[in-house]
């Protein structure tokens, strides 16, 4: 059990706390599910890009799925070997593509025909060959929140099967491209297995038809998306997930790559925030806390549910409250109509499942420095990111003040 009260006292609030042992457990469970098959777990850095978090996974043999050259640099800095780094994303700049080729990462995951042309040109300019994979959009409804669904033709991600085929042929005939992989990712927080299996089957069929054309791919990249339990969702079991994928790969000897983010970090993370005061507006009761949407955006952006635990001496009867922050937006809330006991100044709220897409989606809106991050491992706590200071926030502007 993590002593949240002690951590809040020592490191102040708002504060992110990550249970590194839980991350280890999740990583090992997933690795175990693919045992006996060539596989790479490429941690999706975007879920929680703290260097120490990435390093923690790197030490267990993880690769990294990156979506900007900044993430590629982070992964390398954290000790992820270059041959386990993938660079995806619908809009890569020429400079990013060049750097990825120069850094000799596993492959650049290409998301459009136009991009394939740019990657070829950049490789040519550098006098190199770029390993690539192509992100296929299998047009499958992943049955998740529309903002995090990616595998439908309505979404901006990937290319249709026919386009992909054309692109592989073009890549094979290019002196500067080496097609090594195929990729799909139909969405995030997936709790149903069938859409994933269907997508894998469509993509595996494409691999077989490419084999006929003498295009042999080594990597079958199934993206991320494994859902977790925020409230009462039924999460997919890693074993079932692996079996469903493997079932589509008959007669294909490929290395499976998966890119989990949320599964590895979400339920390892806690966001600690202190109660400033309660207030009543008409019939509505609010608990105002020191954390805000700039720290944890998910409730405001997706109306996402995060469990909240109150640490208080008060054992009064629970009432329904809205938990809100100090930011000047009505959308600045962590929960609505949530049952909590009466709270007092300095009581602590622990917001759960905050380890993925929490800190990383934070901002400095309202000139709020982002909170510190603390890792807990083997019963010991350590800071892995300092709290941002006011001086830090203005550092890039101050020199431009008129005298």
Residues forming the active site: 328
Give bridge partners of residue 318 from the DSSP assignment: none
Instruction: Name residues contacting ligand LLP, limited to 237-266 (CB under 6 A).
Output: 259-263
Q: Find the binder of ligand LLP among 51, 90, 148, 249 (CB under 6 A).
A: 148
Work out how close the CB of 344 gets to ligand LLP at its nearest, in angstroms, rounded to a whole number: 31
* Nearest C-alpha neighbor of 86 from the set 143, 135, 127, 50: 135
Work out how close the CB of 42 gets to ligand LLP at its nearest, in angstroms, rounded to a whole number: 8
Q: Quote the CA–CA distance of 153 and 157 in Å, as a whole number.
A: 8
Q: Is 188 in the site for ligand LLP (CB under 6 A)?
A: yes
Work out how close the CB of 100 gets to ligand LLP at its nearest, in angstroms, rounded to a whole number: 15
Q: Is 224 in the site for ligand LLP (CB under 6 A)?
A: yes
The DSSP secondary-structure symbol of 47 reads: G
User: 49 with 43: CB under 8 angstroms?
Assistant: no
Q: Is 97 in the site for ligand LLP (CB under 6 A)?
A: no
* Nearest C-alpha neighbor of 353 from the set 261, 277, 276, 279: 261
Using CB under 6 A as the criterion, what x/- string covers residues 328-357 for binding ligand LLP? ----------------------------xx
* Nearest C-alpha neighbor of 109 from the set 148, 175, 188, 164: 164
Work out how close the CB of 210 gets to ligand LLP at its nearest, in angstroms, rounded to a whole number: 21
- Which is it for the CA torsion 91, 96, 98, 102, positive or negative? negative
Q: Quote the CA–CA distance of 96 and 90 in Å, as a whole number.
A: 12
Work out how close the CB of 30 gets to ligand LLP at its nearest, in angstroms, rounded to a whole number: 11
Q: Find the binder of ligand LLP among 8, 44, 236, 272 (CB under 6 A).
A: 44
Count of residues near ligand LLP by CB under 6 A: 20
Q: Which stretch binds ligand LLP (CB under 6 A): 184-192, 271-279, 313-321, 372-380?
A: 184-192
Sequence-ordered list of residues with C-beta below 8 angstroms from that of 285, at least 6 positions apart, any chain: 278, 279, 319, 320, 321, 322
**Interface with ligand LLP by CB under 6 A: which residues?**
44, 47, 65, 88, 148, 185, 188-189, 223-226, 259-263, 298, 356-357
């Amino acid at each position: 059990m993590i002593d949240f009260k002690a951590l809040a006292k020592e490191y102040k609030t708002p504060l992110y706390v990550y249970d590194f042992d839980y991350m280890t457990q999740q990583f090992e469970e997933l690795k175990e599910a693919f045992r006996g098959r060539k596989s790479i777990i490429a941690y999706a850095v975007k879920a929680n890009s703290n260097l120490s978090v990435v390093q923690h996974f790197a030490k267990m043999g993880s690769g990294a799925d990156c979506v900007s050259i900044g993430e590629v640099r982070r992964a390398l800095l954290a000790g992820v070997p270059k041959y386990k780094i993938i660079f995806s994303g619908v809009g890569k700049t020429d400079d990013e593509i060049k750097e990825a080729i120069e850094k000799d990462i596993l492959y650049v995951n290409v998301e459009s025909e136009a991009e394939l042309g740019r990657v070829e040109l950049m490789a040519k300019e550098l006098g190199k060959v770029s390993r690539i994979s192509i992100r296929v959009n299998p047009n499958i409804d992943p049955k998740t929140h529309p903002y995090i669904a990616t595998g439908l033709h309505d979404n901006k991600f990937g290319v249709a099967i026919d386009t992909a085929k054309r692109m592989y042929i073009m890549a094979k005939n290019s002196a500067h491209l080496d097609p090594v992989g195929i990729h799909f990712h139909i969405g995030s927080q997936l709790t149903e297995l069938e859409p994933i299996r269907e997508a894998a089957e469509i993509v595996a069929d494409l691999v077989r038809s490419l084999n006929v054309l003498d295009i042999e791919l080594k990597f079958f990249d199934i993206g991320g998306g494994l859902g977790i339990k925020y409230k009462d969702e039924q999460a997919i079991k890693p074993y079932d997930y692996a079996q469903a994928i493997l079932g589509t790969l008959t007669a294909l000897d490929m290395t499976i790559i998966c890119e989990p983010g949320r599964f590895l970090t979400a339920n390892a993370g806690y966001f600690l925030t202190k109660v400033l005061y309660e207030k009543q507006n008409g019939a509505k009761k609010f608990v105002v806390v020191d954390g805000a949407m700039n720290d944890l955006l998910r409730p405001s952006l997706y109306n996402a549910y995060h469990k909240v635990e109150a640490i208080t001496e008060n054992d009064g009867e629970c009432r329904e409250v809205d938990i809100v922050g100090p930011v000047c937006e009505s959308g600045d809330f962590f929960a609505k109509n949530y049952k909590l006991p009466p709270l007092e100044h300095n009581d602590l709220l622990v917001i759960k499942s905050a380890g993925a897409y929490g800190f990383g989606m934070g901002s400095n809106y309202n000139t709020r420095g982002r909170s510190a991050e603390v890792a807990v491992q083997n019963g010991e706590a350590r800071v892995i990111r300092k709290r941002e200071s006011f001086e830090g926030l203005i550092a890039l502007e101050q020199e431009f003040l008129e005298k």
